[in-house]
Amino acid sequence: MAAVFPSSPRLFASRFAESDEQPILSADMHPPIDLEEDLDRFRAEIGAYLKAEDAAQVEAAYNFSAEAHRGQYRTSGDPYVSHPLAVAGTLAGWRLDAQALMAALLHDVMEDAAITKEQLAERFGKTAAELVDGVSKLDRIENQSYEEAQAENFRKMLLAMARDVRVILIKLADRLHNMRTLDAVRPDKRRRIARETLEIYGPIANRLGLNGLYRELQELSFRHLHPVRYRVLVKAVRQARGNRREVVGKIMEAIKSRLPEAGIEAEIFGREKHLYGIYRKMREKHLTFSQVLDIYGIRVIVKDVPTCYLALGALHGLYKPVPGKFKDYIAIPKANGYQSLHTTLIGPYGTPVEAQVRTAAMNHVAESGVASHWLYKNEHSLSDLQQETHKWLQSLLELQSASNDSAEFLEHVKVDLFPGEVYVFTPRGKILGLPRGATPVDFAYAVHSDIGNRCVACRINFESMPLRTELRNGDRVEIITALAASPNPAWLAFVVTGKARAQIRHFLKTQQHGESVALGESLLGQALRACGVASREIDAATWDRFLRESGPRSKEQVLTDIGLGVRLAAIVARRLAELRDRQEPLGSMAEARPSTILIRGTEGVAVQLARCCRPIPGDPIIGMIRKGQGLVVHTHDCVSLAKQRGERNDWVDVDWEPEVRGNFEIGLRIVVENQRGVLAKIAAAMADEESNIANISMDDDRGATTSLYFTLQVANRDHLARIMRRVRRIPEVVRINRTKD
């Protein structure tokens, strides 16, 4: 049964549409137009590669969707069914199977037409229904912010994608059509959708090797996010085309002559840098448009890999290459499977032109990606590239298990969506790609979670280096582990990969759970006493009423949240006080005064000593509750603390336990006369006072005097005073003071 509905003149390049909105149920906004032309084009495309019975199923899905969306229109006035048909048309261009095409045609019926997943499964099969469910949004939870709802929707979609990649392919095609037709949406929503596309959907397309889609999403996002800048750049590129194209034309003619002389058959194309790439380069490198010289480039397509390197040699013989601008992505492919040789040549008139050399197969992967070929084969037949992408999809499930919070999960995924920039070697010679700025800790977690959790030290290129060292291309990294080791909360300050951050946070939340509960109990007891209530007065019935009202699963969860700073103890205490039996005695005035929490300095993740001021036993201290960090202890005179102070409820009275044992790090600045042997004298004096030097550095601009900066381990304030007195007696020491930053 064929369905005929109103249509826009060109479905696949429709002028206007809404995005992420409910369809408008008004038939008076748009004159009826025939959809048959676009539907015929779609039928012809799927008929070229689908079996007749599969094409018939897809046709039935279209009819079902058209009926479900009958009378629904988009903001522009286009009939709503034009949107799912456009999405299915994009997937047909990628040669996806019948289940994916059916899901594309049906992807909005659950949200917009009250069709259930069970109905879809019964009519079109379980696989298509699962795909539609993976793409469909979750219902908005009451009192949930837009950001929270979006994070939860992304979480659901990405986890469905990890199980079946067709989910994200449908969503990407959906987003592409919405971005192509975004003009009908109000400006504020247009900017939000464009930013979301730039941060999430574009990088996902890039990660899956869909380069053409990635570039188009970037361009469309740029146009809607910064319309004025976009128009200015369009005008500038148009004006610059004449002169620069002439130069590129000369280079292409020279290459077309040189390559056959070297016995190389090749196709040569000129290409223009896309506008968002120009804009990003101008912004990141603080360049004017006239300073961006590589707007045009050359692409050379040859028959096989050995010829790529022969062609590269011929190009370097023709024009001088720019040192440091050569990249071999054939030997070491990008994470998304991209392979090519890149070099920058100095052409006529000193104009730099980027040249890319690759095979036809590499060019196909670079333009179309591997996403349309890999899912539907046996896993054992996948190429190395496809297996790497499959591993990345499975890693999403690992991030999910380590991240209980949707926003946190999305944060980790965002980090991993951007392609790796640093390639390092394991001791056995295996290459690992990591994001720029990655450290040995990121490397350890990339190898295996257990390696990361037990990491204690590392060797980079056979030399012992700090764990926070930034890795560089070609580094050989060896991780040293210990059975009793555990993740350090300080690692969160420098790790960059989502997996490392998720695993560290997961460990701190689970393995250190008891510490958070104990701290939460102390903080709640203190807050209750401030309300004039003793902890023992809050009975089980009061706790049950509080849990039913507030939603936590247990009292232990509430205490953990307080210990980690997720909940404020004062608010919980006030509510418990209100709920308790009013006839209970209020307790003595002594109980009504808040008590002080005693710090021993070895509590772990639940209590942290601030890195900004480095308090040690004997220092006057104050505590502040920070969400996700627990109790952070500062000195009273901490400069950073003065900037952070918010509501009084964030502050906690703390003091040192009478007998505190352990080593605490402090900073010392010592100004010395620049004489031979002075460093040895200072180090000997510190060793005599039983202090360990954790780190040392000095000013680069040395004159008559030099500033030395020490990180020392001391027991307490008295120990520090003894060290400072001992060092001050050295004749070459001009000044000594403690640093707190």
101-158 pLDDT, tens per residue? 999 999 888 887 778 888 888 888 888 888 888 787 644 444 455 566 666 666 666 6
CA distance 721 to 361: 70
pLDDT digits over 514-570, tens only? 777 777 788 788 778 877 788 777 888 888 877 777 667 788 778 877 776 667 777
pLDDT confidence bin for 494, thresholds 50/70/90: confident
List the one residue out of 359, 360, 354, 357 whose CA is nearest residue 251. 354
Which pLDDT score, from 0 to 100, does residue 43 have? 87
Record the tokens describing residue 231, joined without a space.
């128009």
Which pLDDT score, from 0 to 100, does residue 392 have? 59
**Identity at 571, one-letter amino acid code:** I
List the one residue out of 405, 410, 411 whose CA is nearest residue 561. 405
CA dihedral 681, 682, 684, 687 (to 10 degrees): 170
Which pLDDT score, from 0 to 100, does residue 728 have? 93
List the one residue out of 303, 233, 236, 295 whose CA is nearest residue 270. 295
Record the tokens describing residue 11, joined without a space.
């479905």
Maximum C-alpha span of the chain: 101
Contact call for residues 128 and 61 (beta carbons, < 8 A) = yes
pLDDT digits over 627-681, tens only? 655 678 888 878 777 666 554 456 777 888 877 877 888 899 999 988 888 999 9
Domain boundaries, the chain: 11-208, 228-368, 384-510, 513-656, 664-739
Contact call for residues 265 and 303 (beta carbons, < 8 A) = yes
Give the count of beta carbons closer than 10 Å to the beta carbon of residue 116.
12
Give the count of beta carbons closer than 10 Å to the beta carbon of residue 8.
23
Q: Pairing mode, if any, of strands 296-302 and 267-272?
A: antiparallel
**DSSP character at residue 466:** -
List the one residue out of 707, 701, 632, 700 whose CA is nearest residue 667. 707
Above 60 in pLDDT, residue 401?
no
List beta partners, residue 656: 599
**Identity at 152, one-letter amino acid code:** E
- Tell me which CATH homologous superfamily contains domain 664-739: ACT domain (3.30.70.260)
Which pLDDT score, from 0 to 100, does residue 32 have? 44
Mean per-residue pLDDT of the chain: 77
Which sign, positive or negative, has the C-alpha torsion 446, 450, 453, 456? negative
Which pLDDT score, from 0 to 100, does residue 413 have? 58
- Tell me which CATH homologous superfamily contains domain 11-208: Hypothetical protein af1432 (1.10.3210.10)
Which pLDDT score, from 0 to 100, does residue 411 have? 57
Domain 384-510 has CATH 3.40.50.2300: no
List the one residue out of 590, 594, 650, 643 whose CA is nearest residue 622. 650
The three-class DSSP label of residue 32 is coil
CA distance 485 to 441: 13
Active site members: 111-112
Q: Pairing mode, if any, of strands 654-656 and 597-599?
A: parallel
Which pLDDT score, from 0 to 100, does residue 223 have? 92
Record the tokens describing residue 583, joined without a space.
């006839």
pLDDT digits over 336-354, tens only? 678 899 998 887 777 778 8
Which pLDDT score, from 0 to 100, does residue 458 have? 92
Above 50 in pLDDT, residue 706?
yes
Which pLDDT score, from 0 to 100, does residue 444 have? 93
Topology classification of domain 228-368: Beta Polymerase; domain 2 (3.30.460)
List beta partners, residue 670: 708, 736
List the one residue out of 623, 619, 540, 635 whose CA is nearest residue 579. 540
Least confident of 12-26, 99-113, 128-142, 181-195: 12-26
Record the tokens describing residue 12, joined without a space.
């696949």
pLDDT confidence bin for 590, thresholds 50/70/90: very low
What is the distance of C-alpha 551 from the center of its chain?
30
Above 60 in pLDDT, residue 373?
no
CA distance 535 to 580: 11
Could you give the C-alpha distances from 695 to 228, 712, 738, in angstroms and in order? 51, 7, 14
Which pLDDT score, from 0 to 100, does residue 516 have? 73
Above 70 in pLDDT, residue 702?
no
Taken as a whole, the chain contains a residue count of 741
Which is more confidently placed, 552 or 64?
Answer: 64
- The residue-averaged pLDDT of 437-459 equals 90
Which pLDDT score, from 0 to 100, does residue 137 have? 61
Contact call for residues 416 and 499 (beta carbons, < 8 A) = yes
Record the tokens describing residue 255, joined without a space.
């290459």
- The residue-averaged pLDDT of 250-274 equals 85
Above 50 in pLDDT, residue 329?
yes
Record the tokens describing residue 394, joined without a space.
């499975």
Contact call for residues 149 and 138 (beta carbons, < 8 A) = yes
List beta partners, residue 657: none
Supply φ then ψ for residue 557, to 5 degrees: -65, -40
Which pLDDT score, from 0 to 100, does residue 27 have? 36
List the one residue out of 80, 2, 93 whose CA is nearest residue 42. 93
pLDDT confidence bin for 49, thresholds 50/70/90: confident
Which is more confidently placed, 575 or 17?
Answer: 575
**DSSP character at residue 271:** E
Which pLDDT score, from 0 to 100, does residue 370 have? 52
Contact call for residues 224 and 191 (beta carbons, < 8 A) = yes
Which is more confidently placed, 330 or 270?
Answer: 330
Supply φ then ψ for residue 715, to 5 degrees: -85, -40
> H-helix or E-strand containing 327?
strand 327-328
